[in-house]
């Protein structure tokens, strides 16, 4: 099957795209400045056919600018964006054949859910009957058949975003662009919708670029996650790799929870931290001289209630099966430690504890603040 999903296709929604039939999206050395602010700095990114890549970063990191350049709502000062090898820079947004779901509710208020979904097909000059048939299929797919005749103001926020998703998918876009589509929704609906997005995306095999500031969202549904900072891609990797082997300190601290504990080099490849010697990820970095901090995840630390230990519990947060304990160590260092809730009953604020590192697990190091 070819990857060109242009106008006038009559076939059904599903089954139209087999596994891996999506398009390749490539951004090469894309830069964009707004006045003195460099929103994108030499960004290169490739999204493989059928892949879902998330761009994750704090607000102002350039992730939305990147998405808008791909969509055609912004232009790049330099660099190219290609879809299946074809440069789309001169192509206006209306002709890019990309489906987009926006952060704010973007359904046309003057049209019913069904007409919203059929709008893109109408622009592609499809007949009224094939439009309504396909719109019905897509609404069925997002579970909103019963709401087909309702206007957007009669739908809840989550329903509106599902219609928006159906609308974006109706045109069988070459690339699906998701601009924080879940951030206006409340927690429970957000969780359901993100799973729905992922399962639809996988079933249709649509190449997808997903922008979010929510790391949990990015890590949970993406094939790969690109962490951005100051217009640059810090690291792009699978969620597990990002979590376990962060390439930079920024990534380490932005993705998941990370403790910084003062340590010192011990031999060639080890560091001494909390009384144990542990190996360093990828060996000892050459550019780190002087004092160092060791980066350890909450699950990489051990904790025991011990009279006269090296820390005092200051806080505990129940997370379900786990409980997160905040401990103040000597030297005014605060660390977070995860413990199964059943084993954490005696770790109450004020309790004296002994915190250590799980032996043998490699850790990251960084220059001390």
Residues contributing to the site for other proteins (CB under 8 A): 7, 13-14, 71-73, 92-100, 102, 104-110, 119-120, 123-124, 137, 140-146, 150-159, 162, 164, 167-168, 171, 177, 185-186, 188-189, 192, 196, 199-200
Q: Which is nearer to other proteins, 109 or 331 (CB)?
A: 109
Cβ distance to other proteins smaller for residue 94 or 240: 94
Nearest approach, Cβ of residue 156 and other proteins (Å): 4
Torsional sign, CA 203, 204, 206, 209? negative
Nearer of residues 78 and 89 to other proteins, judged by Cβ: 89
CA 213-219-220 angle, 5° bins: 115
**Cβ 132 to other proteins shortest distance, Å:** 15
Q: Kindly report the number of other CB atoms within 10 A of residue 137's CB atom.
A: 16
Per DSSP, what are the bridge partners of residue 339?
323
8 A C-beta contact, residue 45 and residue 226: yes
Count of CB atoms within 10 A of residue 285's CB?
14
Q: How many CA atoms lie within 13 A of 65 on its CB side?
A: 27
Coil, strand, or helix at residue 175? Answer: strand
Nearer residue to other proteins within complex by CB, 148 or 335? 148
Nearer to other proteins, 153 or 369 (CB): 153
Cβ at position 197, least distance to other proteins in Å: 10
Distance of closest approach, residue 12 Cβ to other proteins, in angstroms: 8
Shortest CB 77 distance to other proteins, Å: 19
Q: Is 113 helix (H, G, I), strand (E, B) or coil?
A: helix
Residue 263 beta carbon to other proteins: minimum distance, rounded to whole angstroms: 45
End-to-end alpha carbon distance in the chain: 54
- Cβ closer to other proteins: 39 or 141? 141
229, β-bridge pairs: 232
Q: Token match 């709401």: residue?
A: 147
């Amino acid at each position: 099957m070819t990857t060109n999903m242009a106008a006038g296709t009559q076939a059904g929604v599903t089954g139209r795209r087999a596994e891996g039939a999506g398009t390749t999206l490539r951004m090469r050395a894309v830069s964009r400045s707004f006045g003195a602010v460099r929103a994108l700095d030499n960004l290169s990114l490739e999204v493989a056919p059928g892949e879902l890549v998330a761009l994750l970063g704090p607000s102002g990191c350039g992730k939305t600018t990147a998405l808008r350049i791909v969509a055609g709502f912004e232009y790049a000062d330099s660099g190219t964006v290609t879809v299946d090898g074809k440069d789309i820079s001169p192509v206006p947004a209306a002709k890019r054949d990309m489906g987009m779901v926006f952060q704010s509710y973007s359904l046309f208020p003057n049209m019913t859910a069904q007409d919203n979904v059929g709008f893109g097909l109408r622009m592609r000059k499809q007949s009224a009957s094939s439009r309504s048939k396909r719109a019905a299929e897509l609404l069925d797919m997002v579970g909103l058949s019963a709401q087909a005749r309702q206007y957007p103001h009669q739908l809840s926020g989550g329903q509106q975003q599902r219609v928006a998703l159906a609308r974006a998918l109706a045109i069988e876009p070459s690339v699906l662009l998701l601009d924080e589509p879940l951030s206006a929704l409340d927690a429970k609906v957000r969780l359901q919708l993100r799973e729905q997005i992922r399962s639809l995306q996988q079933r249709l095999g649509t190449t997808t670029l997903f922008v979010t500031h929510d790391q949990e969202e990015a890590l949970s549904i993406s094939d790969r996650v690109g962490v951005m900072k100051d217009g640059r891609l810090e690291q792009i990797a699978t969620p597990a790799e990002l979590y376990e082997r962060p390439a930079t300190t920024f990534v380490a601290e932005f993705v998941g929870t990370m403790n910084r504990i003062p340590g010192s080099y011990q031999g060639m490849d080890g560091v001494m931290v909390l009384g144990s010697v542990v190996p360093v990820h990828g060996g000892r970095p050459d550019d780190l001289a002087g004092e160092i901090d060791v980066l350890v995840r909450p699950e990489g630390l051990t904790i025991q209630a011990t009279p006269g230990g090296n820390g005092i519990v200051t806080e505990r947060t129940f997370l379900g099966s786990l409980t997160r304990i905040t401990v103040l160590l000597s030297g005014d260092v605060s660390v977070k430690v995860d413990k199964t809730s059943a084993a954490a009953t005696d770790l109450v604020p004020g309790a004296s504890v002994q915190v250590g590192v799980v032996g043998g697990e490699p850790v990251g190091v960084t220059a001390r603040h």
